[in-house]
A = this chain, B = another copy of it.
């Protein structure tokens, strides 16, 4: 896929470079979708042969609401962290729904959950779909969840319509798409797609409470977690993977379009940084004798913003979502500061250039403030992924048959699809969400928009199953 990615990125980059001269910050005018020049496909009014695909919108919404109650923070926020008690309860909830839908359920060593509807030719590689149900602290109830509960409902839709799959259809609930607990995003899909280094890394990974990955997994009932080779799926295990997800951006809502057909997923990277100074008493240590790790962190946070803005492209984003001071007392100079930085772009080279600049800033801040840069670790630096044309075509056909307006778009958020693309052809289906809000309690997708997504997923699924 590499040459195609390069070509796409190159053309986007050139275009972005020209545009950014005149109007660098007006995101409402120059969205990525406009760079790409993709047209919006309006529905053609005609009698659809797929009108029998009816979604039980009410039940699906009730399930989404019920799943949201497995949370460590009060509603409307949702906090569901990997292998926590609530995560375990939520997993039980999903497995139960899979069973009710007549799927045969299995779990792997890391807790990826699979529900299969066996097709008429069970020897063929199945078509799969799925997403995640873990939720970062104080987030919402739709991110990931729509792609798991919606996928189970898509199976129900197809069953109710009398459809019989040729290839088996499989719903996957991936373990820990969010990096909250162990700092590793897309843990389940990453392992499943064959990341050998990750298997090794997990043996020495601990969370913020110094609980090992192994102990945390055991708490959740996953006791066979010394060797993750059994999790890996070979290339060709699936004939296709397609994920339903809320957009997590404002475009579909603003343009009143039902469906986004994802053509590529932006490339995320995450970095952990630690500064260390001497700390000391906030009254007694005079300013010239200080080497304040907290101020080094503050400078670096602002440097991240500066380098991102300097990239010259609206598509470069960078965030310091975590900034922790030690010991964290008002009358104590911070002796340690820990930052976690997220940087993304649709252009991998440009994103990596920003990361280099952040590293240079960390070094120079460390020197200027006489603070030790004790860690600058690039936790992951993933390449982008392109959707497979056969899948986007199937989704486009589904939209046309269902009379739904759609547009092709790029996913700025990463998803498990990024890693599934390593082992099989991948595609994604986006639905609108309120103001593009995500990762906060105000996240919302309308029941009708979810139902639209489920219908498109079901029809795409059926097309891929018989191909």
Which A residues are within 8 Å of any B CB, using their own CB?
A: 24-27, 136-139, 178-180, 183, 185, 247-249, 266, 268, 270, 278-289, 292, 294-295, 297-299, 301-302, 305, 308-309, 314-335, 340-342, 344, 412-414, 436-440
Contacts and interface: CB of A to CB of B under 8 A. Distances in A.
A306 B44 CA distance: 62
Contacts of A278: 440
A319 B342 contact: no
Given A280-B437, A280-B440, A309-B287, A321 B332 contact: yes
A331 B135 CA distance: 11
Contact of A281 (B298, B301, B438): B438
A319 B298 contact: no
A26 B288 contact: yes
Contacts of A298: 297-299, 301-302, 320, 323
Given A139-B327, A266-B283, 17 more contacts: A27-B288, A27-B289, A180-B330, A282-B342, A283-B342, A287-B314, A287-B318, A292-B305, A294-B301, A295-B302, A298-B298, A320-B325, A323-B325, A327-B439, A330-B342, A332-B440, A333-B439
A315 to B, nearest CB: 8
Copies in the complex: 2
A431 to B, nearest CB: 14
Contacts of A302: 295, 298-299, 302
Contacts of A281: 248-249, 413, 436, 438-439
A282 B329 contact: no
A325 B322 contact: yes
Ordered nearest first, which 4 A-B pairs have the shortest CB separation? Answer: A282-B319, A298-B298, A25-B288, A283-B413
Contact of A179 (B183, B249, B299, B330): B330
B314 A322 contact: no
Contacts of A287: 25, 27, 305, 308-309, 314, 316-318
B279 A439 contact: yes
A321 to B, nearest CB: 5
Q: Most B CB atoms within 10 A — which of A284, A298, A316, A439?
A: A284
A353 to B, nearest CB: 16
A292 B333 CA distance: 24
B27 A283 contact: no
A72 to B, nearest CB: 12
Contact of A283 (B26, B292, B324, B344): B344
Contact of A321 (B266, B308, B317, B333): B333
Contacts of A178: 329, 331
